[in-house]
Amino acid sequence: MENYYNVLGVSENATQDEIKKAFRNKSKEHHPDRGGNEEEFKKINEAYSAIGDEEKRAQYDNQRNNPFGGVGGNPFGGDPFDIFANMFGGGRQQRRAPDRVMDLKIGAVDSFIGKRIDVNFTRKKNCDPCGGQGGERQTCSTCGGSGVIMQKIGNAFFQNIMQTTCGSCGGRGYSLTNVCNVCNGEGRQDENMSVSINVPIGLSDGQMIKAGGMGDFANGMFGDIIFKVEIVNQDGFEKSGGDLLYTKYMSIDELNNDTIDVPHPHGNIKITLPETIDTNVPLKVRGKGYQNERGDMYVKLHVKHKRTVTV
């Protein structure tokens, strides 16, 4: 069984004031928000939970003297960060909600010129009818609400205490009664949202756009949404690196013209046709690609002709 007196660096005859003072010093030193080790911090708080008051200390001392006493829920349970906050009046940085990554398709022309676009999506918000509780919560009788079970493994000469997730409540520390019929016990419900995003010029595949505070609700706050960009074909245009590609369909009559007009995001371009036209080789227009990448424009020619069918 873990010697909690050694963890806090006090003697077994230490007074409660000495134990409290040792805990304050060690928890400040090892707090994760101050660069300390989280596992060491948890061990320090576990020790203080066990011997920080006279009643629990007596229970702990009795268990040490009788190692074959019952095994069950964690008698010294509780969130170590809550213990620290209660003693020091706060000080823990709130754990933020996780980011949510969403795919976002943006047209090649929109990426070329840069513009603001509206994106509609659904996110999770705190369920209003149940206040995010999912229903009426009943503390788990197996783990006492800690969500974990402490089990002793070993014999009279050597023992370890192993912490495992409580199988009765799945680690939540509670079960639900009268489950909320709006969120079905999740504590969150769907909410339709819209956000206006500024698309920078030359945005490419795989780049990210962050929308702060527009993600799902968790840990008492809304997280961020990270939009992962995919550039898609738009109005016959596509993006290839820094180059702008356009597919031009021509009739047989147009093949005999000296020039053709080709659309471009900044206005039509007149292109002189070569003497020999090979539809396998695109026409190149220098400097008309994506400006931020100093790209070119390539026009891919395709012949489209409707024949007169004779019977």
Contact assessment for residue 221 and residue 94, using Cβ atoms and an 8 Å cutoff: yes
Domain 237-303 belongs in CATH node 2.60.260.20 = yes
Cβ atoms of 92 and 85 within 8 Å: the answer is yes
- Compute the average pLDDT of residues 238-242: 94
Residue 137 corresponds to which amino acid? R
Q: Percent of the chain at pLDDT above 90?
A: 33
Q: Are 110 and 199 in contact (CB under 8 A)?
A: yes
Q: What is the mean pLDDT of residues 277-306?
A: 92
Question: Quick one: pLDDT at residue 68?
Answer: 44
Name the CATH superfamily for 100-128+190-232.
Urease metallochaperone UreE, N-terminal domain (2.60.260.20)
Judged against a pLDDT cut of 50, whether residue 124 lies above it is answered with: yes
CB atoms within 10 A of CB 50: 24
Please give the residue that has the higher pLDDT: either 64 or 156.
64
pLDDT value of position 239: 95
* pLDDT band of 70, cuts 50, 70, 90: very low
Tell me the average pLDDT across 54-58: 81
Looking at residue 67, its pLDDT comes to 47
In the chain, list all ranges with CATH 1.10.287.110.
4-93+136-176
Predicted structure pTM score: 0.57
| In contact, 196 and 120? CB cutoff 8 Å | no
Q: What is the pLDDT of residue 179?
A: 87
The total of other beta-carbon atoms located within 10 Å of residue 189's CB is 18
Sign of CA dihedral 140, 144, 147, 148: negative
| 220 φ, ψ (degrees, to nearest 5) | 80, 10
Please give the CATH architecture assigned to the domain spanning 4-93+136-176: Orthogonal Bundle (1.10)
Average pLDDT, the chain: 83
Q: Where in the chain is CATH 2.60.260.20?
A: 100-128+190-232, 237-303
Rounded mean pLDDT, 95-102: 84
